[in-house]
């Protein structure tokens, strides 16, 4: 942004960076159009890196920007080592990586291993030459009745996971759209080809990969074809290769699974797989807890979450480029979520809700702040979704998940400052609805307004970055007398070698829409401790000799209170 005067700190060596980082998902296509083509591009993103540095994010996650017919937002890849020309060139991509690194920002890209576009030359060769070198690159069958226990994921569009190919005269397997044939991971040549894709992008300097749709790599008769042992064996091999050839680069699993299954994607200390996994089950429960006005859904899902290996980290999020998935909640919870958050059927897609954060919460500033406070203080490295920092709206009149992929709103000017193109030529229209119109909701206006959501989010990221306890610390629920109040402690021990000071923070969240009083019970070691607000430094009533704190909180209020033990030692004494 013009006028931002920022230093260029460069990357620091920090093998644990991903455990403390705040991630930011940004679609190249949606962020900034430097060429007037109507779609965003690498150069546009480079021009906005100062903004992202100012905001305080540590790592960008870029969904696919590879050659693609764009029938699934780029998750339908037709060439793994080429970029889509409308986004720019490979040298522009490498410039983006080095410009981001110069600002201390890392870059993680998407690795879509499970499937390709049907336009990929591998598929074209496979369908036309079954005996040729690519004949066995995909999962072919004479019948469409194999793997009958595998569910259909894109239920709005697909009726089967098999589609008949008139050229090869066989059926091919696809877990997603019928234009996205699954690669055959039983074929060692496919595995090697994927290793080469990894090497190609790692050689260009990226800091890691989000592994798209990773539970579905292998298929096996009589199973639901998810989370199979062969998939884990392959991932352990992939991690070994990355550790040997690109030490320090990170793998982040997108495994939309229940906690007991998703932890397997971390692997074991002996056979590690991914350093990070998105925690899908906790996300819908944050929204559920806000409407039920109870702490239990969040407490329960975290209690059901097994411990993860040392040195690994959860990825948490409120929204992303997909629908807000409800695959990980019970049918009863799903029905309630649809009622609360998607009353219009047009708001729904597959098993989920295709709305952005601000409209989901009816633009309630208090709820938007509270849900951010939760995701920024619960265990895990949070990933923000572009535009949510200014409370961007959505457009449910667009098809599928395009509802939440509209251009970033920079200014109140033409095309929201996203592009200079004729508005009719934009890849998607900018949001111009009554409440979320880019005239009102844009970066420029919020920068000029010190109490805007944008400034608030930035301040939260600053506080979080000063307290590594949020990334590295343990998590302990504190019993509260009021079931609408969620209380927990984050604690970290001193680690002078890593520059970490001992820190304990008590996080209190009033999940209800009314003021609440509650008595919170803290562990023995904190009896008589002092409580200090992390934001303003004000003292709060001290922890009683019985280890309790009596607190009153406003509607949807939250507090982050540093706990100083009474003994003058650390909270771990």
Q: Give the footprint of Ca ion on this chain (CB under 5 A).
A: 114, 182, 216
Helices (H), ranges, 162-228: 188-203
Residue with token string 């680069």: 249
Q: What is residue 179's three-state secondary structure?
A: coil
Residue with token string 């409120």: 318
Which tokens in the block code for residue 386?
Answer: 């572009």
Closest residue to Ca ion in the complex (CB): 182
- Residue 98, C-beta contacts closer than 8 angstroms, at least 6 positions apart: 205
Q: Which is nearer to Ca ion, 195 or 340 (CB)?
A: 195
DSSP label at residue 264: G
Shortest distance, position 73 Cβ to ligand LLGJG24Q, whole Å: 6
Angle at 489 between CA 487 and CA 491, to 5 degrees: 170
Helices (H), ranges, 145-205: 188-203
Give me the torsion for CA of 563, 564, 565, 570, rounded to 10°: 100
Interacting partner of 323 out of Ca ion, ligand LLGJG24Q, none (Cβ under 5 to 8 A depending on kind): ligand LLGJG24Q
Q: Which is nearer to Ca ion, 216 or 488 (CB)?
A: 216
The burial of 561, by beta-carbon neighbours within 10 Å (0-12 exposed, 13-18 middle, 19 or more buried), is given as: buried
Decide if residue 254 touches ligand LLGJG24Q (CB under 6 A): yes
Decide if residue 265 touches ligand LLGJG24Q (CB under 6 A): no
Nearest Cα neighbor of 407 from 424, 396, 389, 392 is 392
- Under a CB-based contact definition with an 8 Å cutoff, are residues 185 and 234 in contact? yes
Shortest distance, position 256 Cβ to ligand LLGJG24Q, whole Å: 3
Q: What is residue 32's three-state secondary structure?
A: coil
- Under a CB-based contact definition with an 8 Å cutoff, are residues 165 and 125 in contact? no
- Under a CB-based contact definition with an 8 Å cutoff, are residues 422 and 359 in contact? no
Dist CA 329 CA 344 (whole Å): 20
Decide if residue 444 touches ligand LLGJG24Q (CB under 6 A): no
Interacting partner of 99 out of ligand LLGJG24Q, Ca ion, none (Cβ under 5 to 8 A depending on kind): none
Q: Which is nearer to ligand LLGJG24Q, 46 or 318 (CB)?
A: 318
Q: Which is nearer to Ca ion, 273 or 292 (CB)?
A: 273
Window 313-332: residues binding ligand LLGJG24Q (CB under 6 A): 321-323, 325, 327
Decide if residue 212 touches ligand LLGJG24Q (CB under 6 A): yes
* Number of neighbours of residue 428 by Cβ within 10 angstroms: 16
Shortest distance, position 48 Cβ to Ca ion, whole Å: 36
Q: In the Cβ-directed half-sphere of 78, how many Cα atoms lie within 13 Å? A: 13
Cα-trace Rg, the chain: 24
Shortest distance, position 46 Cβ to ligand LLGJG24Q, whole Å: 24
Shortest distance, position 114 Cβ to Ca ion, whole Å: 5
Interacting partner of 485 out of ligand LLGJG24Q, Ca ion, none (Cβ under 5 to 8 A depending on kind): none
Decide if residue 73 touches ligand LLGJG24Q (CB under 6 A): yes
Decide if residue 342 touches ligand LLGJG24Q (CB under 6 A): no
Interacting partner of 43 out of ligand LLGJG24Q, Ca ion, none (Cβ under 5 to 8 A depending on kind): none
Dist CA 436 CA 393 (whole Å): 5
Q: Which is nearer to ligand LLGJG24Q, 181 or 417 (CB)?
A: 181
Which tokens in the block code for residue 161?
Answer: 């996971």
Interacting partner of 212 out of ligand LLGJG24Q, Ca ion, none (Cβ under 5 to 8 A depending on kind): ligand LLGJG24Q
Interacting partner of 298 out of ligand LLGJG24Q, Ca ion, none (Cβ under 5 to 8 A depending on kind): none
Q: Which stretch binds ligand LLGJG24Q (CB under 6 A): 68-76, 340-348, 422-430, 473-481?
A: 68-76
Decide if residue 272 touches ligand LLGJG24Q (CB under 6 A): no
Q: Which stretch binds ligand LLGJG24Q (CB under 6 A): 44-52, 72-80, 160-168, 218-226?
A: 72-80
Shortest distance, position 424 Cβ to ligand LLGJG24Q, whole Å: 26
Shortest distance, position 116 Cβ to ligand LLGJG24Q, whole Å: 10
Decide if residue 250 touches ligand LLGJG24Q (CB under 6 A): no
Window 98-127: residues binding ligand LLGJG24Q (CB under 6 A): 112
Shortest distance, position 60 Cβ to ligand LLGJG24Q, whole Å: 16
Q: Which is nearer to ligand LLGJG24Q, 337 or 370 (CB)?
A: 337
Q: In the Cβ-directed half-sphere of 453, how many Cα atoms lie within 13 Å? A: 23
Residue with token string 């009102």: 440
Element (H, E) at 487: strand 485-492
Decide if residue 72 touches ligand LLGJG24Q (CB under 6 A): yes
- What own/partner pairs with CB < 8 Å and gap ≥ 24 does 150-159 have? 150/175, 150/219, 150/223, 150/224, 150/225, 150/226, 151/224, 153/350, 154/350, 155/350, 155/351, 156/349, 156/350, 156/400
Decide if residue 61 touches ligand LLGJG24Q (CB under 6 A): no
Active site residues: 212, 254
Shortest distance, position 115 Cβ to ligand LLGJG24Q, whole Å: 6
Window 119-178: residues binding ligand LLGJG24Q (CB under 6 A): 153, 176
DSSP label at residue 71: S
Q: Which stretch binds ligand LLGJG24Q (CB under 6 A): 71-79, 377-385, 418-426, 429-437?
A: 71-79
Interacting partner of 213 out of Ca ion, ligand LLGJG24Q, none (Cβ under 5 to 8 A depending on kind): ligand LLGJG24Q
Assign residue 123 a region: left if phi > 0, alpha if psi is -120 to 50, beta otherwise? alpha
Interacting partner of 182 out of ligand LLGJG24Q, Ca ion, none (Cβ under 5 to 8 A depending on kind): Ca ion
- Under a CB-based contact definition with an 8 Å cutoff, are residues 356 and 271 in contact? no
Query: How many residues belong to the chain?
Result: 573
Interacting partner of 165 out of ligand LLGJG24Q, Ca ion, none (Cβ under 5 to 8 A depending on kind): none
| Sites of contact with ligand LLGJG24Q (CB under 6 A) | 72-73, 75, 112, 153, 176, 212-213, 254, 256, 321-323, 325, 327, 350
């Amino acid at each position: 942004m013009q006028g931002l005067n920022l230093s260029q700190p460069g990357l620091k060596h920090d093998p644990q960076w991903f455990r403390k980082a705040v991630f930011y998902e940004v679609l190249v296509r949606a962020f900034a159009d430097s060429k007037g083509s109507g779609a965003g591009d690498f150069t546009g993103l480079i021009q906005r890196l100062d903004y992202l540095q100012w905001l305080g994010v540590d790592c960008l996650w870029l969904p696919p920007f590879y050659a693609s017919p764009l029938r699934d937002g780029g998750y339908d890849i037709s060439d793994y080592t080429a970029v889509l020309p409308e986004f720019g060139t490979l040298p522009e991509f490498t410039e983006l990586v080095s410009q981001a690194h110069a600002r201390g920002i890392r870059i993680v890209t998407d690795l879509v291993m499970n499937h390709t576009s049907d336009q990929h030359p591998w598929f074209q060769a496979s369908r036309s030459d079954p005996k040729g070198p690519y004949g066995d690159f995909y999962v072919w069958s004479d019948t469409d009745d194999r793997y009958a226990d595998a569910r259909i994921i894109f239920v709005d569009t697909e009726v089967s996971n098999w589609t008949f190919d008139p050229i090869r005269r066989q059926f091919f397997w696809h877990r997603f759209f019928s234009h996205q044939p699954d690669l055959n991971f039983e074929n060692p040549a496919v595995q090697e080809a994927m290793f080469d894709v990894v090497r190609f992008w790692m050689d260009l300097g990226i800091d890691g990969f989000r592994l798209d749709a990773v539970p579905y790599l292998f298929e096996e008769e009589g199973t639901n074809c998810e989370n199979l042992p062969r998939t884990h064996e392959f991932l352990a091999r992939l991690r070994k290769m990355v550790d040997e050839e690109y030490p320090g680069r990170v793998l982040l699993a997108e495994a939309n699974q229940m906690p007991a299954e998703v932890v397997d994607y971390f692997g074991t200390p002996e056979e590690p797989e991914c350093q990070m996994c998105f925690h899908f089950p906790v996300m819908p429960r944050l929204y559920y807890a806000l409407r039920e006005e109870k702490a239990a859904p969040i407490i329960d899902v975290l209690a059901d979450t097994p411990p993860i290996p040392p040195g690994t980290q959860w990825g948490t999020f409120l929204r992303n480029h997909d629908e807000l998935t409800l695959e990980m909640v019970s049918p009863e919870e799903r029905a309630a979520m649809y009622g609360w958050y998607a009353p219009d059927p047009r708001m729904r897609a597959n098993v989920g809700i295709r709305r952005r954060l601000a409209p989901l919460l009816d633009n309630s500033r208090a709820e938007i702040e509270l849900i951010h406070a939760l995701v920024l203080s619960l265990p895990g490295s949070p990933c923000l979704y572009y535009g949510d920092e200014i409370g961007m709206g959505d457009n449910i009149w667009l098809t599928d998940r395009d509802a939440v992929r509209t251009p970033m709103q920079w200014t109140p000017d033409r095309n929201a400052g996203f592009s200079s193109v004729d508005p009719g030529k934009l890849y998607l229209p900018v949001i111009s609805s009554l409440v979320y119109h880019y005239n009102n909701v844009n970066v420029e206006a919020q920068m000029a307004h010190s109490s805007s959501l944008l400034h608030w989010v930035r301040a939260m990221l600053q506080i979080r970055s000063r307290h590594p306890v949020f990334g590295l610390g343990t998590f302990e629920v504190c019993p509260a007398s009021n079931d609408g109040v969620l209380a927990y402690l984050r604690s970290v021990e001193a680690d002078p070698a890593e520059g970490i000071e001992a820190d304990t923070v008590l996080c209190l969240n009033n999940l209800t829409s009314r003021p609440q009083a509650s008595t919170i019970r803290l562990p023995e070691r904190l009896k008589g401790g002092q409580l200090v607000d992390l934001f303003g430094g004000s003292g709060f009533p001290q922890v009683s000799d019985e280890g309790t704190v009596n607190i009153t909180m406003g509607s949807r209020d939250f507090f982050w209170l540093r706990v100083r033990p009474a003994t003058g030692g650390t909270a771990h004494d």
